[in-house]
Amino acid sequence: MDKQESRYRWLVLSISLFAYFVIVSQRTAPGLVTDTLMSEFHVSAAVIGLMSSIQFFAYAGLQIPIGLLSDRFGPNRFLIAGTLLNGIGCLIFSFAPNESLLIFARFLAGIGDAAIFVNVVLILSEWFKAGEFIKLMGIVSLAASIGSLTATFPYSAWISSTSWRQPFLVIGIILLITTFLLYYILVARPGKMFKDEAKTKKVSEKAPESVWAILKRMFTARQAWATFLCHFGVVGTYIGFIGSWGVPYGIHVFGLSRSAASQLMMYGLLGAMIGGPLISWMTSKLGTIKKIYALVHLIVFLSWCGLFLSGVNPSFLLAVSLFFIIGFGNGASSLTFAAVRSSFRIEEVGVISGFSNMGGFLSAVLLPIVFGKVLDFFPGDALNAGYHYGFLIPVLFSFLGLTGALLLKEERKEEVSA
């Protein structure tokens, strides 16, 4: 039986997407309780920025090693281990008595998170045909957007009705249960169902290429750097802001309640939910990645410019509209990995995907820290000005993303079975 023809692959897709959805849902959830944590633990905005960033620092720093290891040893066990670590990180966060343990918990969650997306990409490459890949990445983008949407008003209402600790406790438990389901569906059962295929694969395996040769080829490839910059600009700015300062922005600049401010961020997430599947479908139909992705990056760059140019007291309607457009652009981020899949050998997809993904989360590491330091220069009544000048950071980062999109080369899609 061929994996890529079996109905079992849809079960593999379902459990992989569920794990990814749950992990994404808690990835930005700490941004909902930024003010609460600052008050409860008596820490500055810069410390909270560090807590948000250290998770993405761990994520970004491990993308290349995880990609190399997953290409060489297979993605299943790394996805399982990442889910387990993420669950443990959530549990520790829910019980943390001080800011040091909060930071450690988010660091541990970041280590686990680092093993998720790259391995979801590789698992889809293994179980589905290359021709289905762009559309599947749109579904993955939709799952991520729904996960992020869950971390806005639903989580905010949950926190308001209980406490900030309970959601992280429950999500941690769900992730531990998901870990066992992943092992059964990805490892235990397929091992019995596809014995012959596993034996054939083992016999046909060649001696692994040197890590240094792979890295040298990656770091000298224009296409790898182009996809890195694309993700840096369109993903990092969106996740970095929404996951740290988005809700406080709504509270301080527009005087919204926590729930209402989380709904402001929800407009961006709705945009991402629409943008992911729609742009993937358009790209699949039109057969061009570069033109569509360059246009998306231009629109995102102009939207961040619009938020900056709107001044210290921006229009609420304008902010809503621009967050929706920025979210729509983030939904197109799956095109980064469509470009990787069409440009590189299947044996390199993991490490190149990791490198490209690192770009987005390096941006998400830097943005909350720098944004927090800018805000610390504008205390009290001047905080609106702090947010105004802080928007220069995503303006610069999204410009780098546009540069990456313009550097992309349109490659002929390689029909490789994975």
Q: Hey, what are 332's tokens?
A: 């197109």
Average pLDDT over residues 18-23: 94
Which range is least confidently modeled, 71-80, 89-98, 131-140, 166-175? 131-140
- Lookup result for tokens 């095109």: 335
pLDDT at 177: 96
pLDDT tops 60 at residue 379: yes
| CA distances, 148 to each of 52, 152, 330 (Å) | 15, 7, 12
User: Considering just the CA atoms, what is the radius of gyration of the chain in Å?
Assistant: 21
- Lookup result for tokens 């040091």: 100
What single letter denotes the amino acid at residue 96? Answer: A
Report the C-alpha gap between 13 and 18 in whole angstroms: 9
Average pLDDT over residues 14-36: 86
In three-state form (DSSP H/G/I as H, E/B as E, the rest C), the secondary structure along the chain is CCHHHCCHHHHHHHHHHHHHHHHHHHHCHHHHHHHHHHHHHCCCHHHHHHHHHHHHHHHHHCHHHHHHHHHHHCCHHHHHHHHHHHHHHHHHHHHCCCHHHHHHHHHHHHHHHHCCHHHHHHHHHHHCCHHHHHHHHHHHHHHHHHHHHHCCHHHHHHHHHCCCHHHHHHHHHHHHHHHHHHHHHHHHHHHHHCHHHHHHHHHHCCCCCCHHHHHHHHHCCHHHHHHHHHHHHHCHHHHHHHCCCHHHHHHHHHCCCHHHHHHHHHHHHHHHHHHHHHHHHHHHHHCCCHHHHHHHHHHHHHHHHHHHHCCCCCCHHHHHHHHHHHHHHHHCCHHHHHHHHHHCCHHHHHHHHHHHHHHHHHHHHHHHHHHHHHHHCCCHHHHHHHHHHHCHHHHHHHHHHHHHHHHCCCCCCCCCCC
Topology of 3-407 in CATH? Growth Hormone; Chain: A; (1.20.1250)
Compute the C-alpha angle 165/170/176, nearest 5°.
Answer: 130
pLDDT digits (tens, 9 = 90+) for 398-418: 999 999 999 998 765 444 333
pLDDT digits (tens, 9 = 90+) for 306-357: 999 988 888 999 999 999 999 899 888 888 988 888 888 877 888 898 899 8
Report the C-alpha gap between 263 and 279 in whole angstroms: 24
- Find out whether 302 and 310 touch, Cβ atoms under 8 Å: no
pLDDT digits (tens, 9 = 90+) for 141-180: 888 888 877 877 788 788 888 888 898 999 999 999 999 9
pLDDT at 294: 94
pLDDT at 87: 95
Most confident of 105-119, 338-352, 371-385: 105-119
pLDDT band at 288 (very low <50, low <70, confident <90, very high): confident
Compute the C-alpha angle 259/261/265, nearest 5°.
Answer: 110
Which residue has better confidence, 132 or 294?
294
Q: Compute the mean pLDDT over every residue in the chain, rounded to the nearest whole number.
A: 85
